[in-house]
Structure 1
């Protein structure tokens, strides 16, 4: 339910909605965390009080994803954007190649960084289709000696999402899950590395989660600056330098909240229901609303659509803002409309948006 003091419907793409219960708990503990007399933001990151917060967040993440013992979980900074560089810096050489599956702006940015460290190639791309779909790929499309394959599991700008993950045999698979991490159960063992900025489904901006297989770590380059080595953060339990302590505290609280909702299977069920309310209006509008993504590639996290003309689209966004809908503008690079329905966006918000969309169509069709 919406809290009386939170009288907007937050559909921002990131930083995005956080669970009200988590924000309220953080508010209660803000000046005196765990009877320490200090805020969690004031605690030394070397203190036992903070260490408990830090380790509990890691343990909860491992539990929710049932992460196998041959993986490490670390927290780093710099967002997913730093990972675009760190990945080839650590795992690509001038003599190796890495394959990238191009599904949108973030995979484009990740691919661009490979040229600084080795050779990247495009396995497949849906750019010619305005990134409306997820390409079909398989082990036959990659080289057996590739350093890794990189994919982006959910594409915030274009509203597409992988429904099933391909098998690339023995080639390591690295996935940017920034915008759909913890939105559904996954088999972590299908990936050699998963990374995600926290500001969509896990907490505030400033924390990046990395789940990395130990066998991939063993292949890492040695000639890398210390703070940019994954092994550095593994060896120091993500405490090599001062971590974003408040962000990690909030991440841990969000993971607790996910657990309390019934875990990832329940979260996935609710996310499907929320997205269906909005997609149904689009599909039943007879072209008044035009979905961007092909139905087989639709995202449960980012619902992208346009109206039949730009003037009407502008009016739709203006009237939506007047009624308390926040963040419905599409990304500046593509325009249109976008409703980001991350875990913490309540069902009530999606229902309210679907009703508004019906009412707007009835007035302007």
Structure 2
């Protein structure tokens, strides 16, 4: 069985040298500190205070602020670690409202979707359906909450109501939206693949080698609640060379050397509306994805190489300096200006931690600010 196996005869990863270790630790520190300061100062004002006035304007401001912070991750991957990101298939227009369905090869797949979203100006509007345990991460979990990621526990009796409630708030046609879901429900491993193949054989389903059988309920909920407000669905296949990375592989720049992303645009008219037919359509989509990944493992690339441009080093540096400047000002105010800023930071932390745990989101207090949809 083919499972994230190396695609070259060369080394499986870069050596973890002291310089890579130090650089990775510095990057983690920068990402953590910038996230914390932008959350307690900018994020609290845009996602909490402004939301009492207007959800639309709150999301717009939050997307600008955290789009700048999220752009630090592609900067780390592509410019600092020199990971080559190659795009295939169809061009994605800017400012669309789309649903992305991607394979889940490893724990960092969702981070590489940021590389595509950044190129399309929708990075701050990207939202994920992700496991609820990630919301417990210190500081980063607060960011996921502010960005309105949808947490699930993989128990539909609980997840169904959570998804329906949050999806119902994402229908404003004025707002770009990139909603990403991983229908496999978990990352791909050899043991999980064996169990998936055994279940498929027992139930007369296709035997897949490179992906797990997709779970349909989350995708069905997205299509039922969001179909009328979406422009398209994008089927995304992700492959790695020479092997699938873990989170710390990315941080320290030891792996991967290349990330290959294939994008297939699917008009909404091609997706059935009945529950049974949607489930069959999703299974066919994953059979197609499985075949794409088999071809990738054989040839080392996907078909139909795209024309997405490389990230601009100048723009990445300008964005980094802007985020660093804001972080520096916030740090100065917190530690050297007035005790009232330290009190504010403590109160903001208490609120953000509580809001993340209990999934609390303010509602506008004035009726005329309700979105007209």
Instruction: Flag the structure with higher strand content.
Output: 1
Note whether the superposition's TM-score is higher than 0.5: no
Instruction: Flag the structure with higher helix content.
Output: 2
